[in-house]
Amino acid sequence: MSRIFETLKHAQLARATKTPPEPPAEEAAEYPDRRRSRRWAFDISVYVYGHGPEKEPFHEEAHTLNVNANGALLLLSVPVQKGQTLLLTNLLTQQEQDCRVVFLGTHYSRTVETGVAFPRTNPAFWQLHSPPEDERAA
């Protein structure tokens, strides 16, 4: 027990004698939150159309994990690459929307979390209404 106590005491002393970090320089850039619109956790069925690396076409019925006015996070089983262009069709409204793969996330047994971005803000694709002004983007 005394070894643990001594180790804790040593860590406290080391922390107390450390010089505080210097504040960042005035010209240091601050990076704002990159999210441009609020994210909503909705499971929406979409058809995803695209072309594989060898230009063979594919289509898949996928589901969203999150949506926002600028894109979505989907679960896809077909392999895609960052920068690849896809076409989404909202199965509820039958609206179509071009998008680009911007994020490849967690790999599950048969699917991959895939973030897609629209070229222009389009909340109507998901039938989203603008949140109140005082609500911050998530």
Note if the pTM is more than 0.85: no
What is the Cα Rg of the chain in Å? 23
- In the chain, where are the structural domains located? 45-124
Distance between CA 117 and CA 135 in Å, rounded?
22
Q: Which of 37-41, 48-52, 73-77 has the lowest mean pLDDT?
A: 37-41
Distance between CA 125 and CA 67 in Å, rounded?
10
pLDDT at 128 over 80: no
List the beta strands (DSSP E) in 10-130: 45-51, 57-68, 71-76, 85-90, 96-107, 112-117
The pLDDT of residue 132 is 43
Distance between CA 64 and CA 39 in Å, rounded?
12
- Residues recorded for the chain: 138
Helix, strand and coil content of the chain, in percent to the nearest 5, comes to: 15, 35, 50
Greatest C-alpha distance within the chain: 70
pLDDT above 90 covers a percentage of the chain that reads 54
Residue 133 — pLDDT band, cuts 50, 70, 90?
very low
- The third-level CATH classification (topology) of the domain covering 45-124 is Thrombin, subunit H (2.40.10)
The pLDDT of residue 17 is 72
Distance between CA 35 and CA 129 in Å, rounded?
17
Residue 65 — pLDDT band, cuts 50, 70, 90?
very high
In whole numbers, what is the pLDDT of the chain averaged over residues?
82
